Amino acid sequence: MSFFYFNLEDPLVGGYTPEKLALRRAISMGFDRKARIAQVLNGQAIPASQPVPPALYGHDPKYAARYGFDPAAARALLERFGYKDRDGDGYRELPDGKPLVVEKASTPNATDRTSDELWKKSMDAIGVRIEDKAGVGAAFFHLAQDAGDVLSGRLRRMNEVTVGEAAQHFDLTAQRPEEPFAERAASAAIGIE
């Protein structure tokens, strides 16, 4: 299972105001998960509608994701909440007119390069500038103190993680008494495949 998440403490994409929720939702709606499965994962996955995959206890086959890939709706949502292209460069600015640039960490391998290209294509289609910080992904895991840092996104505004990749670096069952792993994971994840 892989997922992308946002750093909810980041001043650009974090927070719970309506415009921040709209930005995260639009990014999620603007990303083509089926294309990622085809191009990055060689068709060896199914899109998920929930964190628990089919055939595992807790999966609800009746649950349907409310938001899917819909670039037109993503663009409309961004417009509605004030994310507009004010200077005509094809990329939107924040409601206050400052540049909207979302950073995404990745590693410098062929798979992540393909994923980075898909992210750029998807975000260009909705007018969101995305900067891939290739090479930071590997350092990202080494800089993070434990899985809580990875899942809370303390080191990047946005990242994409494969659970198996994270498991190579951390004991995903480890818990801090003040913040159980399940709560950290649930609060950080937004898009799941």
Domain ranges of the chain: 2-192
Note down pLDDT in tens along the chain; length 193 residues.
677 778 888 888 888 999 999 999 999 899 998 999 899 888 888 877 788 888 888 888 888 777 789 999 999 999 999 999 999 999 999 999 999 998 887 777 788 888 889 999 999 999 999 987 766 544 544 444 444 434 344 444 555 554 444 333 333 333 333 433 333 333 333 344 4
This prediction's pTM: 0.72
Q: Which CATH class is domain 2-192?
A: alpha beta
Spatial strand order in the sheet of 129-134: 129-134, 101-106, 158-162, 2-6, 189-192
Q: List C-alpha distances in Å: 143 to 65, 140, 184.
A: 34, 5, 18
